[in-house]
Structure formats: C-alpha cells, structure tokens
Structure 1
C-alpha cells in the first residue's frame, strides 16, 4: 500500500471571533435544553428523552470549550506581545 502524500499545501486555519462563536453555541445548547425540559414526558413516551440530555451535554462541553478558547486566545495575545506582532503574525503598525 502506498503512503498518501498531499499534492498541495494545507490552507491557513480560519480565525475569527472564536470565543464569541463558542459562547453563542453554548448558550444555544442550553436554551434548547431549557425549552425541551417542560416536555420531558412527551419525549420520554416516544423514546427520545436522550435529545434533552444531548442538549445539556452540549452546554456542558461548551463551557469546557469556552474555558479552552479563552485560554488559547490569551496565549496567542501573550505570544504576540512578546514578539511585537499582532494575532496571526500581523504587524500592528499596519492596522
């Protein structure tokens, strides 16, 4: 079997408002959980109670995600301050 090798360079990772995106997703999962809780009996009667717990798990994992991306963002900013460049290697003098 031949080892696969890429034929082109991988694109740069997309950067954006990562903390806001993860926070928004976490809030969405928690809202979905809260909306479904009053209908627990309906979901349980149909064998879909797991939907409610998936939403709660999404909110819980989102909290871990918020903690992670905030720490990542802070580390990127600290590294940029040490090297004198902005995020993703941008020169702050050009902004």
Structure 2
C-alpha cells in the first residue's frame, strides 16, 4: 500500500493555491528567548542615561519593565534549555 501523497494544488472557489514542499522547522525556542532576553537588556541599558527624565515624567516604570523582561527571559531561557536537553535524550 502506497502512502498518500499530499496535493500540491488546492482549488477553493475560483482560486488555485499551490502547496510548497517545505520541511518543518526544528524550533525549541532557545534562540528566540536568547534574542528577546538580549533585547530587553539592551533596552534597559539604553534607558539608564535617561533615569532622571523618566523619573520626572512618571515613566520610570519603563526602566523596570525592561529589567523584568530580562529577568523573566532568563527564567524562560533556562526552562527551554532544560526542555531541549530532555527531548534530545
């Protein structure tokens, strides 16, 4: 018995859609979290020189949001690294 081949074309109404032959991505989330965590740290460092003006304008929470994003990113990064190690065996 032959395995079923997926269609390469779908016709829906008057439109025809072609299906690309693409391999699925092996995504474990580690690289995404590394980039996101680094961006939160960069934003925190970039806002540090403006500490006084942020405080005067009542927007000091911007600085602490960046710090919280960095901290939570570190927790998420460790979680994803452990998950990746567990799935790879």
Query: Scaled by the length of structure 1, what TM-score is found?
Result: 0.65
For 1:54-73, what aligned pairs fall within 5 Å after superposition? 54-73=65-84
Q: How many residues align?
A: 65
Which of the two has higher C-alpha Rg? Answer: 2
For 1:7-46, what aligned pairs fall within 5 Å after superposition? 16-46=27-57
Aligned-pair Cα RMSD in Å: 1.4
Higher helix share: 1
Query: Scaled by the length of structure 2, what TM-score is found?
Result: 0.69
Higher strand share: 2
Q: Please list every run of 5 or more consecutive structure 1 residues that lacks an aligned counterpart in the other structure.
A: 1-13, 79-95
